[in-house]
Structures are given as structure tokens and as C-alpha cells.
Structure 1
Amino acid sequence: MTQIMKAVRDVVCSFLSTSFLLFSVWGDSSTTTTTTEAKPYGLTMGLIHIHSPASPLYPGNISYTEKIRRLVNQSAARAQHLDFTISSALNTYINTNQTMTNDLIRPKLQFQLIATYTIQVGLGTFDEAFPADPFKSFYFGQTEPIEGIVFGCAYDAKNTQYDWEVSGVLGLGYTPNSFPVQISNLIQGAFSFCLCRDLHTTTYLRFGADIPQPPPGSGSVTPLVLLQDIPYYYVNLQGISVDEQRLQIDPSVFAIRKQGQEGGCVMDNGSTFTSLIRPAYDAVIAFLESYFSKIHDFIRAPSPSDLKLDLCYKWSPPPPLGFEDLPPITFHFENNANLEIAHEDGFIELDGDTPGNEVMCLAIMPNDVRTIIGSLQQANYRFIYDLNGRQLKFTPEDCDKNS
């Protein structure tokens, strides 16, 4: 068992609750940056999309439509997962079949498909044999021991659906035992990522000194809303624009209610597709129906079989400018922080049920409980989670360029 615990392991990362495959480099600024200025420690992990052939969870040569179908279903399952984990954290849901009693962990439910990316990280060695006394040190490669870090271990895990190709979950949420919170003093409480559209491109999860900083005055900053006992990262969504027109949505529909059990807006990379609280979703759908009804080339079409996407139009042939003919969607957060979704991230092209009947669908789903901003709508932005300052910073970036 000691040898097993000392092996370099693969870890599935529920990254903010996301998914990517990751290898790590840890050290001080002299090992991770090219400058000589003294800086805090940095850590970089390479991310690989779950559908990439390099992923241990690669599903094989499935069709594009099948990939989308799986991601849509995963996003729906993920929304349900958030509902139940939040209810569990607030002790509003009783799981009579739960037997877990670890003092460090609140009882949680078992769910399907909670991530869209995987992470592979070299974890190094522990200085104690499992299951001996609590771990005293944790080593990243050969450079830096971290004292007193807690990593959960289990003799058995059920319903993981990973077939042991991965070994666990590296949590990035806001809890005392999450990875960034435990090493907060080393990384100045900050981690960052920049997600690519191309699943074959490696991007990176960065901590501390390894985070590229945007030019002064660029980008947007909005407060992070951190709720007691809830590990997810909330932001204050105040409105939505489509085609640069602010929709008539009562801002109160985005407010956090019942201590987080309902409402609010969660930034969640574990969800591929954004889901909007029902009144906001209905307003977006109504605007787009009116918008496309005025354009001769757009003809309403059913969603391809068993895909849970409500608003689709014929896309065969596509309009002259392709996705550029589609209206932009913008999320307005507190502090005038605006997240403008690129045309190709607000909508997706899908094969129809028969050849030559391609369709274009809105890549947003309804939600009856809360709003969740998914990873597709976060592409080509650098997000910096500043836990010490309780801020989320984001700025546009070409994430294909070694981000």
C-alpha cells in the first residue's frame, strides 16, 4: 500500500467543478518563470479535454453530435448535482442510505458525470503510509514540501464510472479542505485558467506566480460571493443583453435565496452548457424567436433527436456570414463587468436527423433553481479567481496560444 501511495497518480479534477487532464510543475518563481524578480510560488497544470484522444476517459471515435449529446446530458446531470450537494451542505436533504462518517467530509450523494474535463497531476509522495496518522507533508516533484495538507483517501469508491483510469478528485471549490484554500498562503489565494474551443489544444490551470497578469486597467472585475458551507463560486448577475439590447428581466430572479438553496449565479466549469433560471431563459428565447422571425434565411427546426436544446433553426446552407450572422449574448455582472459570449459559443451547429439537414441551436438550457455559467460560454477568456480579495477577474484572451 505504501508503494501505491508513493506512485504518481492520475487525478480527475472537478475544477471549480470542471474537467481537464493535467500534469503539474511546482516550484518557486525561478523554476516556473523566466524573470529574476522574487515572486510567490507558482504551480501549472496542463489541461486536456475529456474528448481528446490524450484523455484517459476518451470515449472513442464518436460523432460530433454524440459528443454534444453527452455534454448536454452531462450539463443537466451537473445542475442536479449542484442542487443536491447544496441541499446536503445546508442540511435540507436527508440521504437515508448514506453511510459515510468521515469527520472531514459532509455526507454527499453519488451522481453521474460531474465533469467535462479531466486532470492528470504528478502528486509525488506522502511521508506517511496509508492509513497511518494524518499526512504531515505533501511533496510536489522534488522541489517543495507542503506541510499539513489533507488529501482524502478511500478503500473503495462506487459508481465513479471511471473504471480506475483515474484516481480521484482534486477539488478547487471554496472549502477549508480544497486544494487552493489549503495552499493559499503559497499561491496568494489565486488560481486561473483560459479555456480553448479546440479540444486538441492543451491549456493550463495556473496557481500563484504562474498566473499571467493582464495589462493594468484591462479586463473586468466582479465580486465573488462565497457562501458558508457551499463550495461553489457565486457572482452577482444583474442582467442579460442579446444583440446589444438589454432584456427586460427583473434582476431579483438572479438573487440568492434561502442561503443559496435557490437562486444565484454560479460560475461552474463542470457544466459545459450555461443554464439560466427560467424567467431569464424565457426572456432570451422570446427575444431570439422575434429576432430570427425577421430574417428570411432562418427557419425554425426541431432539435436533433433526444437533445435537450429548445431553440433550433435550419442551418443548411448556413447564412453568408455563418455564426457572425447570429446575435451576441452578454452577461452583465456587478461592477459593470460584462462577459460577452462569442457568436460560436452562444450557439452550436449540429447534424440533423437526416443528411443535409444541419441545424443551429442555442447553447443554453433552462434551469428552475439557479443560473449556472458553463465552460462553453467561458471560452477564450482568462479567469482569475482571487480568493483573498474575493474577486473574479476576467479578460478576453486567445486561449489557444499556450494559455
Structure 2
Amino acid sequence: MNFRVAFGCGTDNQNINFGQNDGPKNPIAGIFGLGMAQRSILNQLAKETNRRFSYCLPSSTIPRETHTTLSFGKDAKICGSIQKTEILPAHMQAYSVNLLGISIAEKRLHIDPEIFKLKYGPFGGFFIDTGGENKTLPSMTFHFKGANLVLDSKAVFERFNSNFCMAIFPTSDLGINILGAFQQANHRFLFDVLKLSLYGRKSIVSFAPEICQ
């Protein structure tokens, strides 16, 4: 079966830490676009993908040889304790969701929800980026509109020698907030993205705990 797909590779890939990224031995050839823009694989192969995909990222603590599967269309499934939240029509490159607050060890933090709201233009908002611990460490909960994503300590803290650090990095001055791959580990995410012309229906992201290995 032949497809008419615009496809290329990158020569200057940044913020990718999967080995040596400089020179001719660069193992990263580019970015596999799964956003809502017309050039994303999701839209270029819309008849095959039905604008629907799912994945389950393994924890960083398991062996590097572990592989995972990216599924599209009818093969994109999810089961278990499923929660859902609406994908906001932010912009075509990323998936924005409505984050209402954050809890640590089931205690709600005093964070103004306005910090996570999408502003006019490419500013603010909270996006899902398509990237053995001490049991006394706390969990973290992201409170989305209509759903709660509960992360155990392994998805929140990283061990560096004898120290533990919360694996959260500051963002740029634009104030964009991102749920990264480290926090998504051992959860299956399913994105069901509808055409913008389908008024009355909403694009949805679903997630459920799953051992991804």
C-alpha cells in the first residue's frame, strides 16, 4: 500500500538526551509529529489513523532494551481505571488540557489556577508533551477538569547518587507548562482528536495506570 506523505529528517536536534547528539553519529533523525497540524502523521494518514493514537511509556528505571508500542486507529485502546479530560483548542502543535491544581501526598498546593490557564497567543497553558525509589517519598496528583492523574514517587523523583530530586524543570518566560515523558511513565495515554469542523463533539485524552514493559 502506497501513501502520499511528506517526510524528512532533522540535522540540528536539540533537547534530546538519548546518547551522542552531535556530528555524523547523531542517533536522532528528527521528530515524529503527532500534533493536530496538517503535516502531522496523525492528519496526513487520517484515513488510517482516524486521528486516534495511544502509547504507554516505560519507567526510566527499567533496562534500556525495553520497547513500547505506538498504536493508531482501531488498535489504539485503553482499559482499567480510565479517566478522561478534554483537549483544549489551543494550537495545532501540542495538546493543551485544563489543569486546575496539583497535590503532593494528597495535600492540595496553594497554586493560583490562573498560572495554568492558556493565554492569548502561544503563552501559558498546560500541555502534554508527546518524553527503585524510597517508598516514603510522596506521590503527586495533577487535578485536571474531570480527571485526576496520580503519579507515584518513581514518576516524580529521580535518584542522583545518594540524593533524590524532583524531576521538574523550569519553563521559559512564556510560562508554558508541560507534562513530560518522565511523569507519563507507566500510564497508557489515548488521544482521540476530532476535526475542528465537528462542532458539538470534543477531542479527548484518556489515561489509565499500566505497567509499560
> What TM-score, normalized by structure 2, do the two folds share?
0.81
SS at match of 2:70: strand
Structure 2: how far apart are the matches of 1:153 and 1:348?
A: 34
The aligned counterpart of 1:383 is: 189
The aligned counterpart of 2:179 is: 373
Structure 2: how far apart are the matches of 1:180 and 1:359?
A: 41
Give aligned pairs, total: 192
Structure 2: how far apart are the matches of 1:211 and 1:173?
A: 16
Q: Structure 1 residues 375, 162: CA separation in 2 closer, same or farther (over 3 Å shift)? A: farther
The aligned counterpart of 2:137 is: 326
Does 1:342 pair with 2:146? no
Segment drifting more, 358-367 vs 231-240: 358-367
Does 1:159 pair with 2:12? yes
The aligned counterpart of 1:204 is: 69
Structure 2: how far apart are the matches of 1:374 and 1:236?
A: 16
Structure 2: how far apart are the matches of 1:227 and 1:240?
A: 21
**AA in 1 matched with 2:58:** C
Q: Which structure has the larger Rg?
A: 1
**AA in 1 matched with 2:86:** P
Q: Structure 1 residues 166, 248: CA separation in 2 closer, same or farther (over 3 Å shift)? A: closer
Structure 2: how far apart are the matches of 1:171 and 1:162?
A: 23
- Are the equivalent residues in 2 in contact too, given 1:226–1:232 (CA < 8 A)? no
Please state how far the C-alpha of 1:151 moved relative to its aligned partner: 1.1
Please state how far the C-alpha of 1:194 moved relative to its aligned partner: 0.1
Show structure 1 runs of 5+ residues with no match. 1-143, 271-320, 352-357
Structure 1: how far apart are the matches of 2:126 and 2:23?
A: 29
**AA in 2 matched with 1:257:** K
Does 1:219 pair with 2:82? yes
**Identity level (%):** 34
Q: 1:265 aligns with which of 96, 106, 126?
A: 126
Q: Structure 1 residues 326, 168: CA separation in 2 closer, same or farther (over 3 Å shift)? A: closer
Structure 2: how far apart are the matches of 1:395 and 1:159?
A: 35
- Are the equivalent residues in 2 in contact too, given 1:174–1:226 (CA < 8 A)? no
Query: Which protein has the bigger strand share?
Result: 2
Structure 1: how far apart are the matches of 2:120 and 2:33?
A: 25
1:180-227 per-residue CA deviation (whole Å, 9 max, x = no partner) reads 112222222101100001232111111112223315xx3110011133
Structure 1: how far apart are the matches of 2:110 and 2:189?
A: 28
Structure 2: how far apart are the matches of 1:340 and 1:223?
A: 17
- Are the equivalent residues in 1 in contact too, given 2:57–2:185 (CA < 8 A)? yes
> What TM-score, normalized by structure 1, do the two folds share?
0.45
Structure 2: how far apart are the matches of 1:168 and 1:361?
A: 29
The aligned counterpart of 1:398 is: 211
**AA in 2 matched with 1:268:** D
1:69-93 per-residue CA deviation (whole Å, 9 max, x = no partner) reads xxxxxxxxxxxxxxxxxxxxxxxxx
Structure 2: how far apart are the matches of 1:192 and 1:398?
A: 14
The aligned counterpart of 1:145 is: 2
- Are the equivalent residues in 2 in contact too, given 1:347–1:363 (CA < 8 A)? yes
Structure 2: how far apart are the matches of 1:330 and 1:339?
A: 5
- The equivalences for 1:3-402 within 5 A come to 144-146=1-3, 149-153=4-8, 158-160=11-13, 161=22, 163=24, 165=27, 167-197=29-59, 198=62, 199-214=64-79, 218-228=81-91, 230-259=92-121, 261-270=122-131, 323-335=134-146, 337-351=147-161, 358-367=162-171, 368=173, 369-388=175-194, 389-400=202-213
Please state how far the C-alpha of 1:269 moved relative to its aligned partner: 3.7
- Are the equivalent residues in 2 in contact too, given 1:219–1:394 (CA < 8 A)? yes
Structure 2: how far apart are the matches of 1:397 and 1:191?
A: 16
SS at match of 1:240: strand
- Are the equivalent residues in 2 in contact too, given 1:173–1:232 (CA < 8 A)? yes
SS at match of 1:171: coil
SS at match of 2:169: strand
Show structure 2 runs of 5+ residues with no match. 14-21, 195-201
The aligned counterpart of 1:58 is: none
